[in-house]
Structure 1
Amino acid sequence: MKALKISGVIIGILVAAIVIFAKINHVAPLSMVDSESYDTYSGIALKGYDAVSYFVSDKPAKGSEAYQYQWKDAIWQFASEDNKNSFAANPSKYAPQFGGYCSFAVSTGFSAGADPTSYKIKDEKLYLFNGPEVLAEVEKSGEQFWEIASLKWRNK
């Protein structure tokens, strides 16, 4: 009987830890994600990084409140007026794939927040990841990863 009580306590702690982890990392099943919006837990897409900067410079740049643009229920910030105008002319060219969620999480059927400094440009598209370790694992997995992630996103 005592073992059952201890098991119940352990299970309760594990469930609480999983719930806390999910909330911190914004994890949810893909079926709960709206394809018409972007991961904007803070209200700002890409956590304030300039979406165009990924394509025109060596590394992503932080955007500024001075150069903002509203698109798909998100506020997008840019480092310059030129970048803002480029985005406004063709947002889908610059916006991250999979709603800005971690591409690895999408490949497993979930959404999770992404680190805008962990990214990959593939076939002229921006993909985000939860961190450098996740990106490194994806780099090892080959083309099958991209096919699975795209399929999961389309079929959510």
Structure 2
Amino acid sequence: MKVLKISGIIVAVLVVGIFVFAKTNHVAPLGMVSSDEFDNYSGIAIKGYDPVSYFVSDKAQLGTEDYQYEWKDAIWYFVSEENKNSFMANPEMYAPQFGGYCGFAVNAGFTAGADPTSYMIKDEKLYLFNGADVKAEAQAGGKEFFDKANANWNKK
């Protein structure tokens, strides 16, 4: 009886832990997000990072409220009026793939929040990841990794 009680407590702790992890990392099945939707937990796309900065300065830079633009039900921040105008002229070029969710998660068939400082530009497209370790796995996976992630994203 005591073993069952301890097992029950362990299972309950695991369930709560999984729920908390899923909530904080925005983990969800791919079918629960629209291809027109961006990960904007707080209403701010890519946690306030300027999507154009990845391309023009080759680094992740936080934008400001001074330069913002609403697109696809999210507010996008920029570091300058010039970056904002570039985005407005061609948002599909600068917006991260997979709605700003972690590319590794999409490859695995679900969504998870991404760390905007863990990114890669491949074939002139911006990909975000949930950390350096999964970014490294994506790089190691090469073309097949991105083909699978794109197929998963497009079939939802």
Normalized against structure 2, the TM-score is what? 0.96
Letter in 1 for 2:66: A
Letter in 2 for 1:137: E
**Runs of 4+ deviating beyond 4 Å:** none
Aligned residue pairs: how many? 156
Give the corresponding residue for 1:13. 13
Normalized against structure 1, the TM-score is what? 0.96
SS of alignment partner, residue 66 of structure 1 = strand
Deviation at 1:34, TM superposition (A): 1.8
Give the corresponding residue for 2:94. 94
Give aligned-pair identity as a percent: 67
Give the corresponding residue for 2:38. 38
Deviation at 1:133, TM superposition (A): 1.4
Structure 1's unaligned 5+ residue stretches are none
Give the corresponding residue for 1:125. 125
Query: Cα deviations across residues 16-61 of structure 1 (Å, max 9, x unaligned)?
Result: 1111111111111111112211000111111111111111112122
Hey, what's the Cα distance between the residues in 1 that align with 2:33 and 2:140? 27
Structure 2's unaligned 5+ residue stretches are none
Query: Cα deviations across residues 38-91 of structure 1 (Å, max 9, x unaligned)?
Result: 000111111111111111112122111111000000000111111101100110
Give the corresponding residue for 2:78. 78
Letter in 2 for 1:49: Y
Aligned alpha-carbon RMSD (Å) = 0.9
Give the corresponding residue for 2:29. 29
